[in-house]
Chain A
Amino acid sequence: MQIRLTVNGEPRALEVDVRASLLDVLREGLALKGTKKGCDHGQCGACTVLVDGVRINSCLTLAVMHDGDAVTTIEGVGTPEALHPIQQAFLEQDAFQCGYCTPGQICSALGMLAEAAAGHPSHATADLLAPVELTEPEIRERMSGNLCRCSAYPQIVAAIRQAAEAA
């Protein structure tokens, strides 16, 4: 089936298998290997990308459901030569070890920061009406959909705080 996507700002026309997840189309169809497959069941977050600015598990959604959508993957966030501030913060805080969950963590963090800025509360938010303060418990709660088996969790929180404070 034919679909059109805007991926990292570039319009792409694709012929996709209707059974194909957005994740597999990104990785195999578009050779954007930065988005990772950790579980293929929406349980680990390694496949997190931004669709129209909102973070989603790209393994839990079929590519054909995204005709016309704008997708941002880790390749669209920054490059090794020109890292995004949050990528730089992950590097400096040692917020990864094996690196496999990292693109998902970073995309998720970008989505999460936008949610917080828009005032979306979380389970850890005490006052649902006040602006969200990005405390450590808030970040931890909001980032719990992204597993890191190397367990760089404290460093991930530090990196997100560094990036959020710099922004």
Chain B
Amino acid sequence: MADDANPIALNRAGLIGKPVDRLEGKLKVSGTADYAYEVMEKPGAAFGYLVGATIPRGKIAGVDISAAEAAPGVLLVWTHRNAPSQPAPGTQSQAGSQAPAQPELYDERIRFYGQTAALVVAESFEQAAAAARLVRIDYEADAGAAVVFDDMHAAARDTGGDEEAQKGDFDAAFASAPAVIDATWTTPVQNHCQMEPHASLCWWEGDQVYAFTSNQSVKRPQHALGETLGIDRNKVHLRARYIGGGFGGKNNSYADLTLSALAARELKRPVKIALTRQQMFHMTVHRPATVQRVRLAADRNGQLTGISHETISHCARADRFMERASAFTKNLYAAPNRRIGHKLALMDLPVAGAMRAPGEAVGMLALECAMDELAEQLGMDPVDLRILNEPDVDPTDGRPFSTRPLVRCLKEGAQAFGWDARIPTPRHTRDGRWWVGTGMAAAIRGNFLLPAKAQIHISAEGIVTVRQAMTDIGTGTYTILAQIAAETLGVPLEEVRIELGHSEWAPAPGSGGSFGAASAGSAAMDAGINLRSKLAALAVGDAASPLHGGDPAKAEFRDGNIVIGNQAEALGDLVRRASPQGVDAVGAVTPDPKGREYSQHTYGGHFCEVGVDAVTGEVRVRRMIGVFAAGRILNHKTARSQLTGGMIWGIGGALHEENHVDPRFGSFVAQDLAQYHVPAQADIAGLDAWFIDEVDDIANPLGIKGVGELGICGAGAAVANAVYNACGVRVRDYPITVEKVLAGLQALEG
């Protein structure tokens, strides 16, 4: 689309980029935004409580639910023996289904620790929780059902597929290079720990089910539930209006949705189920641990001649989710000889899944530290090393980049941080008992666009309403869609309503993979442009309009008016007179095949100063900045919050977050927020982030790119590199906790 026809590029009212407050913000700060478990539209919900299995793999050998059934207030107790029959897992019987059936309690098999083994529904939460403890289930573990977690190499197998990339002769390049790095980094199991536990509330009206749930998308759980219930998915009215965090862990629906719908049908009343905080660790997904070997080969000037990044991650036995930690290495630095690969280790563990920036978030913890080690070996500045290896085109497949402002980000970040004053030799500065040092890393994250539609309506009052089966998981979707609609129609922001989270509305892909704003927003702009055409036709064809007989192609929309030449009419006046029921339009975006001819990414540079306590080994981030490029920015306030939030996730990944596997049970040791440490307020200091100016006209009609995952990419590596610069200890086994730092300090100090 030419810029002079693109309302977002024109930005006549200046709403694009404007740091406006969140559209739904007043509801959230006053506690009046209703999340799934809190919906009051149909009172009298019964309370469900799930019971999880306690073996890694095997079967249910015996069940006794008599005590639970006899407990006060209990309405229903289900195990696989008496739960309603459901289609087999994976069933996709309806044409165009986006998700398969997800039956629960459908057979005696236990496939992972924590798998839902029983459901209790009672009149109150207390009664349901108490009765759940009375459910007696005897398990029989399979012989050999145990986890060999300590040696992922032994369990790893090749997967093939497009995650792999070979170019040139890496082995020869590595063997002949004067400077090489060959090291292995490990990252632990991480958990999403969304503040809102997964929850669903369902009721039936005749053969139609109303399902409120906490999910990152609307259509996929709707389709899954239709398949599971064996009903036409159009009879599933899925609602996801407010979602208390997702981060990839609410991409799928879980037992709370399936079982609240089934129990509501059985009991003929609303039923709601929330996972407990403890259940979330096993009944949903986690980011798997990785073992990553990175090898770099360079000439004496620092020019890379070879890059290899090989990752092993684990997955559940029946699943094939892969943490594609090496994938971004295909696109980041130039080198003629390359080897990128992934392997999977199948284990008796719960199902792994996407967690914020799957791949990059942990992969950059390896590659960006390897680059730091190479810079040190060569006596080069790490920023200069990266700039020297900046590719002109995608270094693996040769495609042009849609935009590539990585060097600008690095240079601007270095200047703002005061990088030129850095002392490269470790252990150079003491501040009391703290070793102080600095580190940096680059950031890269793939950019995507998915098909989406939007519907738009203008009322006789001039109120513009956009409706989409889309979600806002805290990313700002409500707000940026309002900005797009207001700018496109030339109306004030206050006259725009955004209604999301209804499955009946125009389909959008949901929030995940940083594709939400581009996909949903491009469709919303298209809907707005189509509405403009309808309004223009309405005006020029209406004898009562001052625009009657004008050229509709010359219509402009500004200040709440439609304008042709020197004639103007308020949109509300036009609609009230000429189409009092309002005017509707739809819009869509379909990824342009041309987009695939380009290598599309967002970029950034992280710069960090840490203190390392010389006595305790404690690491504290003292200040950190990130400078990013993500196309046109729709809202500098909400987009910046995505970045700082991501950077804090990066700090958590570097310093705090880890889960451990209990090999006896195939379970995770940390099962709550006391044992699994997510960054807290006191862990964070001196953080800032901003964007450089750019527009990506290839990426999508808005010229934007996704920002939800970019901040985490590389952030932890900057912290790790700063730890080394501060105290001389390189910890390659994340997170960088005190005992690992202390061991390193003691080794250095003898």
Contact = CB atoms under 8 A, between A and B. Distances in A.
B26 A80 contact: yes
Nearest to A137: B685
How many chain A residues sit at the interface, stated as a range, is 35 or more
Contacts of A28: 124-125
B196 A38 contact: yes
A146 B681 contact: yes
A144 B678 CA distance: 11
Given A24-B125, A106-B29, A151-B679, A33 B34 contact: yes
A98 B197 CA distance: 12
Interface residues of B, number: 63
Nearest to A142: B681
A98 B195 contact: yes
Nearest to B638: A94
Secondary structure class of chain A's binding surface, majority of residues: loop
A83 B124 CA distance: 33
A38 B277 contact: yes
B31 A97 contact: no
A92 B678 CA distance: 25
Q: Which of A74, A94, A101 has the most C-beta atoms of chain B within 10 angstroms of its own C-beta? A: A94
Secondary structure class of chain B's binding surface, majority of residues: loop
A73 B30 CA distance: 10
Interface in A38-91: 38-41, 43-44, 46, 73-75, 77-80, 83, 87-88, 90-91
B308 interface: no
A99 B242 contact: yes
Nearest to B196: A100
Contacts of B640: 94
Interface stretch (B334-342, B537-545, B643-651): B643-651
Contacts of B116: none
A99 B246 CA distance: 12
B262 interface: no
Contacts of A101: 195
Interface in B213-257: 242-247
B38 interface: yes
B358 interface: no
A44 B40 CA distance: 25
Given A147-B195, A153-B684, A35 B126 contact: no
Interface string A12-24: 0000010110001
Interface string B8-24: 00000000000001101
A113 interface: no
A24 B482 CA distance: 35
A102 B38 CA distance: 15
B721 interface: no
B28 A151 contact: no
B30 A140 contact: no
Contacts of B24: 99
A30 interface: no
A27 interface: yes
Nearest to A159: B29
Contacts of B681: 139-141, 143-144, 146, 148, 153, 156-157
Contacts of B26: 80, 83, 87, 91
A19 B133 CA distance: 14
B95 interface: no
B350 to A, nearest CB: 19
Interface string B514-549: 000000000000000000000000000000000000
A34 B32 contact: yes
B194 A33 contact: no
B126 A20 contact: yes
A37 B31 contact: no
Closest 3 CB pairs of A and B: A34-B31, A100-B244, A99-B28
15 contacts: A19-B130, A39-B672, A79-B30, A80-B32, A90-B25, A96-B25, A97-B245, A97-B642, A99-B33, A140-B681, A140-B684, A141-B682, A151-B646, A151-B649, A151-B684
Given A74-B31, A102-B29, 6 more contacts: A24-B126, A38-B673, A79-B32, A99-B242, A139-B681, A151-B679
